[in-house]
Structure 1
Amino acid sequence: MKHLVILLIVLAAGMGLSVEAGLLGPLGESVGHLSATLSIFLVGSLLLSLALVFGTRPPLARLFSQPKWLLTGGLLGPIYVVVLTLATPLVGVGLTMVGILCGQLAASLVIDHFGWLGGERRAIDGYRVSALGLILVALWLI
């Protein structure tokens, strides 16, 4: 049951990313791609700051005692959002999101296969390669 709930939350988050892409395209064309990206991170930072102030949390000092390479993920978010902002008006939300999904799955398979970034090793098998192949077909069809 726990896995089903998590899967539903993940699906909803994926839907939210498509909505975000749909919003970012026109916003980026109107105010500039970097300004649109900044607006997304400013609103997100405000919401997360409120959650930290009013929610229960571990001490923030713990964050700075982690290996520095774990913090490099923060570099990837703005790059992702800028790509959404640039690509969506040109190719549409559908093609943008399938392209993103294809890249995510390809990288995820390699990360899982080798157990990189502290994750458990999960060997690439025929099912996973087939899933990637189907997403590539979807990318070509869209």
Structure 2
Amino acid sequence: MNLIFVLLVVIAGMGLSFEAGLLGPLGSEVGHLWATLSIFGVGASLLWLISLFIPSKETISLHAIPKWQLSGGLLGPIYVVVLTLATPALGVAMTMIGVLTGQIGKSFAIDYFGWFGTAKKPVNKLRVLSILFVILAMFFSYMGAA
């Protein structure tokens, strides 16, 4: 079962690269904020349509949800604006390896400290080595593109 999830997240990661490739030119054409708005507008419309066909288990009031959990909605637009700005300057590959480095670095901290209710995961030599390899990949990609 975990192998299926690994495959799905790799495919989702490919989708992020595709999105970055689209956002750079779109941001240059219509402006970075409008590109971000269009991406979220299309996504929200699609999710609304899907929700019409998938029954909801229960209705939960937004007031019942801890407010810090909703703060994740602020991060998506910031991420998309950064993609629209960085991708034309850095290229898709360098932009994505920078995103990957940030994601893995912060993910290790979240796992280690058990933030957001996640199970704590200890840091070991292999995990440290893996982040060092990602940082090296970012460095080599940057130097190779310069």
Q: Could you say which TM-score interval applies, normalised by the shorter chain?
A: over 0.9
Amino acid at match of 2:76: G
- 1:57: Cα distance to partner? 1.9
Aligned to 2:135: 136
Secondary structure of the 2:71 match is helix
Q: Distance in 2 between matches of 1:74 and 1:122?
A: 26
For structure 1, which runs of at least 5 residues remain unmatched after alignment? none
The more displaced of 62-71 and 8-17 is 62-71
Amino acid at match of 1:82: V
Aligned to 1:41: 40
| Cα deviations by residue, 1:33-62 (Å, 9 ceiling, x for unpaired) | 000000000000001111111112233425
Q: What is the percent sequence identity of the aligned residues? A: 52
Q: How many residues align?
A: 141
5 Å-filtered alignment, 1:83-122, equals 83-122=82-121
For structure 2, which runs of at least 5 residues remain unmatched after alignment? 142-146
Aligned to 1:72: 71
Aligned to 1:21: 20
Secondary structure of the 1:14 match is helix
Calculate the aligned-residue CA RMSD, in Å.
Answer: 1.0
Secondary structure of the 1:38 match is helix
| Cα deviations by residue, 1:86-124 (Å, 9 ceiling, x for unpaired) | 000000000000000000000000010010001000011
- Compute the TM-score of the two structures, normalised by the length of structure 1: 0.95
- 1:32: Cα distance to partner? 0.2
Aligned to 1:5: 4
